[in-house]
Structures are given as C-alpha cells and as structure tokens.
Amino acid sequence: MLKVNAQKCVGCGICMENCPVDAITLHNGKAWIDEHQCIGCENCLRVCPRGAVERREKDERQEIRMRLLYLRQRVNSLASRLDALEQIGKDEDNDNL
C-alpha cells in the first residue's frame, strides 16, 4: 500500500492525473490516497516529482489483493475490447451478405 508524505507533497496534482481509478484527492493542498479504491498500480509513486508517495510497511496479503484487483480490471478491459472487435466483425459479415 502507498501513502503520501504530507511533508514532501506540494499539491501539484500530477499523481491524481495519473491515477487510473481516481483514488487520489487533495485535502488542504496535500494529496490523499483512498486505500479502498487504490488498485496498487504505483503510477503515483513513479510520477510524483517530489518523491512524496511512499510504500507503507509491507503487507503481503494486501499486496496480493491489490495485484488481483489490478489484474481483474485489466482482464475486464480486455474483455470489453474483444467484445467490441467481435461486434465489428459481425457488422462486417452482415455488410458482406
């Protein structure tokens, strides 16, 4: 899990812009991560120019849960794309009849 070090955060919002699930909000000019929404992708950790996003003490079960949530989201996204491609294929077949 990740947390924001309020001493380092300058409230630039870059982490928010790069969070795929809108898990970060600003409170009194400091970023805050909603652990219930966070999927653990670590985008915020990579993009923060101040190094203000830090890992909490390691909790392996929590890490695994976050990874699974992230993978589930990726699978759902890919399934949606496949559905869309399948529909395009059907439409083209119908056009060729």
42 forms part of the interface with ligand SF4 (CB under 6 A):
yes
11 forms part of the interface with ligand SF4 (CB under 6 A):
yes
Residues 72, 80 contacting (CB under 8 angstroms): no
Residues 23, 84 contacting (CB under 8 angstroms): no
- Encoded amino acid at 87, one letter: Q
What is the spatial distance between Cα 46 and Cα 81, in angstroms, rounded to a whole number?
Answer: 27
Quote the least distance from Cβ 56 to ligand SF4, whole Å: 11
Gyration radius of the chain's alpha carbons: 19
Span near ligand SF4 by CB under 6 A; candidates 50-58, 73-81, 83-91: 50-58
Interface positions with ligand SF4 (CB under 6 A):
2, 4, 9-15, 18-19, 21, 23-24, 31, 33, 38-44, 48, 50, 52-53
